[in-house]
Chain A
Amino acid sequence: MGIADMLFKRTSTMALTVIVGAFVFERSFDVLTNTIWDKINEGKQWKDIKKNYES
């Protein structure tokens, strides 16, 4: 409760929190959606079959 109040009380700190949060959110969202995509398309992409052709 105290931490959240400290961040949100001033507009400037709130803005900073939002910007940092946006970077964090974007990165984690990308990782999450990429994982879901790769899971759904298991074995169909080059990265999955690449090992069969390395010699």
Chain B
Amino acid sequence: MISAVAKSGNLAPYLKNTSQAVVSSLKTSVKPVVVSSDKVVAPTPVSKSTDFSLGSALNRGKISVQYGLNGPLQIRSAHTDVRVPDFTYYRKTSTLDPTKKAEASESSRKTFAYTVTAGGFVLTTYAAKNLVGTFVTSMSASADVLALASIEVNLNDIPEGKSVTFKWRGKPLFIRHRNGKEIATESGVDLGSLRDPQHDTERVKDPKWLIVIGVCTHLGCVPVANAGDFGGYYCPCHGSHYDASGRIRKGPAPLNLEVPPYEIKDDGMVIVG
């Protein structure tokens, strides 16, 4: 299309500005002439739509343009043959009716959108909290520091007859407050009957308190307190029985439970390790 750009200048009062809308520039439709009726006739849609058939419908060869002051200065295509697809499948049901105002469904649409967004924010916050937490906890005591750590326990908190477990250097630590009966029993055991002969006094500093590491000497499971046939500990993995002094009495374990280095202070605190 040739479009004329003309500055009318002094001729302005004498020129008629006309523009004519035509439906289409394809050969199959009406040629650009002045149409007396108001209505623009829409042609039947072009059924062929391959490149070749569409290309053959284009104007080729001689294109003549009438250009002058007594004809239309503009030829514009009306594009009334453009077909807009039906989008009703994609629309919200509340907005389907074209006669309804948009404000009616506005609050429900906004609520839905903002709720979904808030949900997304919650998930992001959760992820961010975990990420930051990972980096911050990486600054806590490392494994080598914990490996050489000592633990301080208040013995006054442990009632008689009870065995309490603590985590020390990554391993369970059993502290047992023994009653008189247990002490007497353990002191009276014949050393010849023991697989790993040790007298009770060799294993404890104060006979009231048994402090041993809760790792079975067989294959390393954690024995259960107040279980087994000898009133001490029982390892559920392979059935090793330990007595109230932590000595092996029955089962596959070869040695008694290990006694760690510890100090009992006067105020009832014990420092292990």
Contact = CB atoms under 8 A, between A and B. Distances in A.
Interface of A: 1, 4-5, 7-8, 14, 17-19, 21-22, 25-26, 29, 49, 53-55
Contacts of B28: none
B227 interface: yes
A12 B15 CA distance: 63
A32 B114 CA distance: 26
B246 to A, nearest CB: 17
Contact of A25 (B108, B114, B122, B234): B122
Interface of A is mostly: helix
Given A19-B125, A29-B126, A54-B227, 6 more contacts: A4-B114, A5-B110, A8-B115, A21-B122, A53-B236, A55-B226
B42 interface: no
Interface in B227-242: 227, 234, 236
Contacts of A18: 118, 121-122, 125
Contacts of A7: 118
B129 interface: yes
A28 to B, nearest CB: 11
A22 B126 contact: yes
Contacts, number: 46
Contacts of B125: 18-19, 21-22
Nearest to A24: B122
Interface of B: 107-108, 110-111, 114-115, 118, 121-123, 125-126, 129, 224, 226-227, 234, 236
Contact of A21 (B111, B114, B118): B118
The interface centre, meaning the residue of A7, A8, A14 with most chain B CB atoms within 10 A of its CB, is A8
Given A5-B107, A5-B111, A22-B125, A17 B118 contact: yes
A14 B122 CA distance: 11
Contact of B227 (A17, A26, A53): A53
Nearest to A18: B121
A53 B235 CA distance: 10
Contacts of A54: 224, 226-227
Contact of A26 (B111, B126, B224, B236): B126
17 contacts: A1-B107, A1-B108, A4-B115, A8-B111, A8-B114, A14-B114, A14-B118, A14-B121, A19-B125, A21-B118, A26-B129, A53-B224, A53-B227, A54-B224, A54-B226, A54-B227, A55-B227
A22 to B, nearest CB: 4
Contacts of B107: 1, 5
A7 B122 CA distance: 14
A29 B126 CA distance: 10
Contacts of A25: 122-123, 126
Q: Lowest 10 CB-CB distances: which A-B pairs, in order?
A: A22-B125, A8-B114, A18-B121, A21-B122, A53-B224, A4-B111, A22-B122, A53-B227, A55-B227, A22-B126
